[in-house]
Structure 1
Amino acid sequence: MRSLIVLVLLLAIAYAQSPTIEDKIKGLNDLTARSAVVKFNIDKWKTYVRSQPRNYSMIVMFTALSPNVNCPICRPAYEEFMIVANSHRYTSSADDKRKVFFGIVDYEDAPQIFQQMNLNTAPILFHFGQKLGPKKKPEQMDFQRQGFDADAIGRFVADQTEVHIRVIRPPNYTAPVVIILLVGLIVGLFYMKRNSLDFLFNRTTWGLFCLAITFTFMSGQMWNHIRGPPFMITNPQTKEAQFVHQSTQFQLISETYIVAFFYALVTIGFICINEAGDMTVSDKKNKKNSILSLLQVSPTTLAFIGLALIVVFFSALLSIFRSKYRGYPYSFLFQ
């Protein structure tokens, strides 16, 4: 009987010492007063994430930001996560701010938490719901399918918590500076060539300029300027370099270069077929500066070269589209 009384007293003392919901809310508000996210150590983790009672949700990113860790995707994913957290801090209502908090677990600062969660890869984004117990598995965002840009993270938060965050990106002054420099370069070129502007009436020059603009926009370069994705990423399962992102919601800089290069080769293929079809035997003798004269190939050979370029690299483009969206219905040589 005496041991039972002692046990009850110990449980009562432990319960009295455990923080209440209001204590946790106040503590989280203090931690997020200067930063939009809570940087967790093991004590904060146990108090605010893995213990009950809790009437709020935690959106926690597990990452490895140390330069000693080979994680090229961690920094851009962290920056997108911070955009969402700051947007929530400055645009959400007071009630929504009490419902959702954002946190970061860096491997260098808290490896014990990674071990507790049985994690050996990063970055990973989890939603710890209000009723989630210490032994339950939280909801994980699928970066491979959904991407990790701020808008995708915002949609994940809305789906999990019903708190809709208006994502506001910080201003990017890179594009205006580049445009000003480009305009200055063009004006300087016109000034230096003010006595000879024949190049403005050169069809080849304008054709190449239009093709360059077309390849730039078709490859998704403008999306890169807006979203700022990484050049490439490392697959967390295979540890191999990945140059094409396996999601329709995200892309990599290397991916746009590959797509633009393939489009350019397909275009060259059509040009070769067009030149081969237009060229006759008499044209070959008269037009010394034609593409056939420069390459020293017959019209038939040039036509086959063009056809091969179109078939191979258009098939490669379709293969890239299928790798990003498994439901894409078209393919040719490659799956």
Structure 2
Amino acid sequence: MARYHWSGSWPVTEQDVCGAGAAGTATTDMARSANMCIGGGCCLLVLLLCLRSSGGQKKKENLLAEKVEQLMEWSSRRSVIRMNGDKFRRFVKAPPRNYSMLVMFTALQPQRQCSVCRQANEEYQVLANSWRYSSAFSNKLFFTVVDYDEGADVFQQLNMNSAPTFMHFPAKGKPKRADTFDLQRIGFAAEQLAKWIADRTDVHCVVFAMTSGQMWNHIRGPPYAHKNPQNGQVSYIHGSSQAQFVAESHIILLLNAAITMGMVLLNEAATSKGDVGKRRIICLVGLGLVVFFFSFLLSIFRSKYHGYPYSFLIK
């Protein structure tokens, strides 16, 4: 039996109330279902984005590993990596990159007649070799060269109209003004380049000056020794101050090494805190090395520079 409740409007029955409740419940369920669908869709979208980001990051890591591996392989063959336009754009300009690149832009072909380029290249080679064969060598810095005849498009891209030019390309960001070496003001000595690199990269390249004359041998190509055709006597020391043999460089190198070892032993004997008797022996050995081998070195100098008045022990 239906009951009517009058409230000044259309009478509402219990069936109407129940129907309205059922409709409200259905609407709530639909809303809940819709929210669940939206939430599930958002989660799926976030998951897809994460997977895509992870895949992109993995791809970058693989690409970077390939680039570093290739650069290390080239560095194992020669200290300075030669680059054309394509290699420059891929390994120097294009990301990803977690290493610094030092690039010498030059023109070494004979038809270019750039004597300064050849001189700068020799200093650059000394510096690159010092870095390549040092204990601090790593995959964070590479030495490269772009010759105009092999990468003219690179010169045009950088609006470069002079050579030689040294530029540093940092691992992150673009090169700044200080990343271009001031060749006109500082010069291109290997020591000056090393200081500039240390300032830009915090990588220290220690350059040892060649006191044995090996660079002269590299440029002039002298014989290893000379054999007298008349008596068969072999000379390892050239008699003139204007020339030398390759063996002479090796002899001077060994003499310098022996003198250096003597100085190290003298310093060790003076600064160590070990047994007094042991320190005395080390001091005598060091002193003997310095005195004997320096006398030998001075006698060689006298034999080449005739008229030199000074000698010590060995004449």
Work out which of the two has the higher radius of gyration on C-alpha atoms and give 1 or 2: 2
Q: TM-score, normalised by structure 1?
A: 0.46
| TM-score, normalised with respect to structure 2 | 0.49
